[in-house]
Chains A and B, each alone.
Chain A
Amino acid sequence: MLLLEAEKFMKVIAELRNVSRTYQMGGIAVHALDGISVPFGAEEYWAIMGASGSGKSTLLNILGCIDRPTGGSYFVDGCDTNDLDDDDLSRLRGASIGFIFQSFNLIPQLNLLENIMVPLFYQDGSTSDGAARAENLAERVGLADRLSHRPSELSGGQQQRVAIARALINDPKIILADEATGNLDSQTASEILDIFSELHSEGKTILLVTHEEKISHQAQRVLRLRDGKVDLIK
């Protein structure tokens, strides 16, 4: 009861209001998301669960502002994304959202440091201290001695650490992780999850998409989808 009271006063950083996403496939409308409403509070750690085909990926795309809902509204920091054009959405992604992917998605021809710095280049304003920040982040994820290595010279766990550093370079409020540990062995995976916990404790909002129950226990809150609808919010 006390928890619910607290929730009411907690600031909402991202909110889905009756969001739908419909694809046209060969003339047939597929409802990947069907009227979803979820408020994501600031500094919360969410696990987004669901079987494959439940709409997790679609939801993640919308949360990450790389896709738009076909119905309803998605608010980030109180701003309706329906009112933003493509450039504004890109700016929002760069400034407020840090992506972490299952397959790391580093850029192969760039070295570690350059990879961490990529989001900086797309931000307006000065980036003069960018290299120093990137080095700090590399140090934080334990890769300070490999700055000039290419992604192909790093292990999976190391690559994911680079991706985390990259997601943090613009100091975003929201970290979006899509099966971030899916390609890693359990030892490395738990190290990565430790980093997420740490980030959460530092005040980041973490939205972690996973299908593993065990991982979801780490999270404070759970959103479970089924057939494009909210199955459970905990």
Chain B
Amino acid sequence: MFHSSFTRSIRLGINSLLLHKLRSLLTTLGVLFGVSSVIAMLAIGEGASEEAQEQIRQLGSQNVILRSIKPLEDKVSSSSYGVNAYGLTWHDFERASETFPWVENSIPVKNIVQEVRFEDKVINPRILATTWEYQNVTGRIVHRGRFISQADDDLVSNVCVIGYEVSRLLFPGLESIGQKIKIGPEYFKVVGVILPRVPLSDDMPKVNTSVTSEILIPLTTGRRWFGDMTVKIRSGSREMEQVELNEIVLAVRSPEQVPYTASASREMLARHHQQKDYEVVVPLELLARAEETKRIFNIVLGCIASISLLVGGIGIMNVMLATVTERTREIGIRRALGARRHHIMLQFLVETVVLSVGGGVLGIALGVFVPVLVEYYADMRTIVTLSAPLLAFGISVSIGLVFGLYPAWQAANLNPVDALRHG
């Protein structure tokens, strides 16, 4: 009995709404756009956060990365011959390896600034000279061929592993393994292709670097051919920089060891460096920061969404109030025919909920569709979780209930005599 009267109420509500199709559609627009923006923004936010987390995970959540940074200009110790010497040193590397027994692996990394040529193509990728263990601690994926081996390092071989982007740029349509590329004045044989590493937001490539990917060569080879000196030609003057090591990656056994490894490293570096020419990057901390950013994003999103849904709800309430006035006579008739207050109340409440749920369902459809477009055109990752449409549906039902309550209450409390005389 209840079931049939309930479905009848819904059918009745839909019928009344279909009587004014355009009006009903316009009324639902507020909720429609509110709901779709909630879903779309959640999907985009979720995608962006997922991407950021993956980038950080690529750095390795069990790593602590010590990195050389150029100190502020006025603090640069002007050493002899106009050479700017700063950054991490081999002493730092040895100290770190020796004093932190829990560190499983410490890997030195040097950045090499050289042009890379193949035939007539010239690019300026990020070139890293490092050891074969680099792959293990950073989780690089070998796409084809192999990574740098210990033998390469021992033999000081002229081999390199190139990023996917580099391979695509230098050897479009060609097999890249076995090709010889020229780094600076030296020829290097390509032995492997790795999938591109996505740069950290605060580790963006230099402006004049046309390729975001990287080339890896054995550390010994890098030291042999390129030394520690970097010459930069800038606006007519030449500037020389000497950096022994650009990065030291410390890998520990478990994430719990990360915080004290980080603080011990900071302490150690502070003791041996007069100036702040280093930084300690902790991916785990970045991960926590990314979580925090996501939380803030969600709060902001929640506020925007609530406002738009509030506006949508008010729109619906407004129309329902007008509808109650318009249908005062109908209410009077129904009351005269035996309708109790709660019947009238239910009728209008159901109508409002049908309206807002209708908007909600259309909004869900639109909200699921928009991320697809965003993914396609803006090349951003989006993730539509199942909970988002469910949440949106729940929200639209409650909007109907909340904003339908007052108009329905008003309809139910009309005096039957006056209502019958109306219009």
- Chain A residues with CB under 8 A of B340: 86-87, 90-91, 122
On whether the beta carbons of B19 and A109 are closer than 8 Å, the reply is yes
B1 at the interface (CB under 8 A from A): yes
On chain B, the number of residues with a Cβ less than 8 Å from chain A's Cβ atoms is: 23
Interface of B is mostly: helix
Contact check: which of B5, B336, B420 meets A121 at CB < 8 Å? B5
- Chain A residues with CB under 8 A of B420: 66, 101, 105
B135 at the interface (CB under 8 A from A): no
With known contacts A61-B417, A66-B420, A123–B338 Cβ distance under 8 A: yes
On whether the beta carbons of A99 and B336 are closer than 8 Å, the reply is yes
CA distance A90 to B412 in the complex (A): 12
CA distance A110 to B330 in the complex (A): 11
On whether the beta carbons of A93 and B341 are closer than 8 Å, the reply is no
**Residue of B333, B338, B342, B343 ringed by the most chain A CB atoms within 10 A:** B338
With known contacts A87-B340, A122-B339, A123-B338, A107–B15 Cβ distance under 8 A: no
Nearest Cβ on chain B to A189's Cβ, whole angstroms = 22
With known contacts A66-B416, A66-B417, A126-B1, A118–B336 Cβ distance under 8 A: no
B335 at the interface (CB under 8 A from A): yes
Interface of A is mostly: loop
| Contact string against A for B residues 410-422, beta-carbon threshold 8 Å, 1 for contact and 0 otherwise | 0000001100100
B381 at the interface (CB under 8 A from A): no
On whether the beta carbons of A118 and B337 are closer than 8 Å, the reply is yes
On whether the beta carbons of A93 and B343 are closer than 8 Å, the reply is no
- Chain A residues with CB under 8 A of B5: 121
| Contact string against B for A residues 43-85, beta-carbon threshold 8 Å, 1 for contact and 0 otherwise | 0000000000000000001001011000000000000000000
CA distance A93 to B335 in the complex (A): 9
A164 at the interface (CB under 8 A from B): no
A95 at the interface (CB under 8 A from B): yes
Nearest Cβ on chain A to B167's Cβ, whole angstroms = 68
With known contacts A66-B420, A121-B5, A122-B343, A105–B329 Cβ distance under 8 A: yes
| Contact string against B for A residues 119-143, beta-carbon threshold 8 Å, 1 for contact and 0 otherwise | 1011101110000000000000000
On whether the beta carbons of A119 and B337 are closer than 8 Å, the reply is yes
A170 at the interface (CB under 8 A from B): yes
On whether the beta carbons of B335 and A90 are closer than 8 Å, the reply is yes
With known contacts A66-B420, A105-B329, A170–B341 Cβ distance under 8 A: no
B294 at the interface (CB under 8 A from A): no
On whether the beta carbons of B337 and A122 are closer than 8 Å, the reply is yes
For A58, the closest partner residue in chain B by CB is: B417
B144 at the interface (CB under 8 A from A): no
On whether the beta carbons of B417 and A170 are closer than 8 Å, the reply is no
Nearest Cβ on chain A to B413's Cβ, whole angstroms = 10
A166 at the interface (CB under 8 A from B): yes
A and B contact pairs by CB, cutoff 8 A, 10 listed: A61-B417, A66-B335, A66-B336, A86-B340, A87-B341, A94-B337, A105-B333, A119-B338, A121-B5, A122-B334
Residues of B within 8 A of A (CB): 1, 4-5, 8, 15-16, 19, 329-330, 333-343, 416-417, 420
Ranked 8 nearest A-B pairs via Cβ:
A94-B338, A122-B338, A66-B416, A90-B340, A119-B337, A122-B339, A105-B333, A87-B340
